[in-house]
Each structure stands twice: as structure tokens, then as C-alpha cells.
């Protein structure tokens, strides 16, 4: 996984948009982003390692999300727009990239700058509840991702706005940033 601040240039969201300013592990830690690299080519072994993390974090359910034109058909473009719209969740977002790659962009709280996380096969992240983020494919146009959930699989996005600023999960996230500062 590579982490860097995004440039502000217009253009295809699948392009790197690399400002040349790397983001340190310390910054990612302060944002509450957990991350691992578990090679996905080791047959069956990656599943065992993911299961250990899932058990430690009390994830009981999972599904696989295939983001491709072939896999999503007519809903492909609409789903890409939905995923790329800035939002937050009231649950952690935990993802393991089995195949392909993409970008998770998260807001750096103090500056509101976009931090771009380029994930590829074998990368696993946990985004904390309440963090503003979005997802987009990279130029490979494919992502097969294991999604883990504490309860029943659900994906409810709360688009950034006045309402989300007062959302209890957002407020708790912001408070956690102040404590770790």
C-alpha cells in the first residue's frame, strides 16, 4: 500500500493524482487507519491470516464485492459514482483486496486534504467509523475485495454534509483524533 496526499488537478479519478508528498505511517496511525499486507497468492494462507484479524476485531460476517464492468453490468457506472462520493459509515470499513486494486481516499482531519491510499492484492485496511472517505478503481479497472462486517453485511453511506457533522459516530471519531494528538 502506498499513501500520499492527492494533487488538486482535475482528471480521471483512476489516475494516481500523486502530489509527490508521501504520508507517513505515523499520520495514518493518527487517523486511526489500520493496515496489513497479507499476500493473496499463498493458497488458503491469506484466508487464515484474515480470519485471525477478523476474530480479534469481532467480525462475524463477510462477502466478496467484485467491482468490474462485467461483474456489475448496467450498475457499474452508478456504483463507481456512489463509491467515489465523499461519505462516512457508522461502522468500521474493513477491506482485503484479493485481486486488482483501487484507491481509498480519506480526509486528513486538520487540513481537510485528501490522503490517497493505493491498495493492491494482499492489502487490508480498517477505516474507523466516522472518517470521511471514498473509493475508486485504479487504471486496472478491477477490484475483487473481501468485505468484513461485525454484524449482518450492510453498506450504508452517509454523504458528507451538515447532518454528518453532528452524527454521533463522526463526533466520536473527531474526539478520538483530539485525544491522540
Binding residues: 87, 89, 93, 133
Does the CA dihedral 58-62-66-72 come out positive or negative? negative
- From residue 126, alpha-carbon distances to 129, 145, 149 in Å are 9, 13, 11
* Cβ-based neighbours of 112, under 8 Å, separated by 6 or more: none
Q: Known binding site for Fe(2+): residues?
A: 87, 89, 93, 133
Q: Known binding site for Ni(2+): residues?
A: 87, 89, 93, 133
Say how far apart CA 94 and CA 118 lie, in whole Å: 15
- Contact at 8 Å (CB) between 109 and 28? no
Say how far apart CA 177 and CA 181 lie, in whole Å: 6
Amino acid at each position: 500500500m502506498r499513501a500520499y496526499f492527492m494533487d488538486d488537478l482535475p482528471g480521471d479519478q483512476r489516475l494516481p493524482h500523486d502530489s509527490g508528498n508521501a504520508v507517513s505511517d505515523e499520520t495514518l496511525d493518527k487517523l486511526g487507519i489500520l493496515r496489513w499486507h497479507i499476500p493473496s497468492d499463498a493458497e488458503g494462507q491469506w484466508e487464515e491470516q484474515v480470519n485471525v484479524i477478523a476474530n480479534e476485531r469481532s467480525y462475524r460476517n463477510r462477502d466478496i464485492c467484485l467491482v468490474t464492468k462485467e461483474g456489475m453490468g448496467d450498475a457499474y457506472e452508478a456504483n463507481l459514482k456512489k463509491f467515489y462520493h465523499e461519505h462516512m459509515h457508522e461502522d468500521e470499513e474493513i477491506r482485503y483486496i484479493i485481486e486488482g486494486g483501487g484507491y481509498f481516499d480519506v480526509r486528513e482531519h486538520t487540513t481537510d486534504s485528501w490522503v490517497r491510499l493505493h491498495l493492491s492484492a494482499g492489502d487490508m485496511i480498517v477505516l474507523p467509523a466516522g472518517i470521511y472517505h471514498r473509493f475508486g478503481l485504479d487504471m486496472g479497472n478491477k477490484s475483487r475485495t473481501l468485505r468484513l462486517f461485525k454484524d449482518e453485511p450492510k453498506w450504508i453511506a452517509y454523504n458528507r454534509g451538515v447532518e454528518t457533522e453532528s452524527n454521533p459516530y463522526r463526533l466520536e471519531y473527531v474526539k478520538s483524533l483530539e485525544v491522540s494528538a
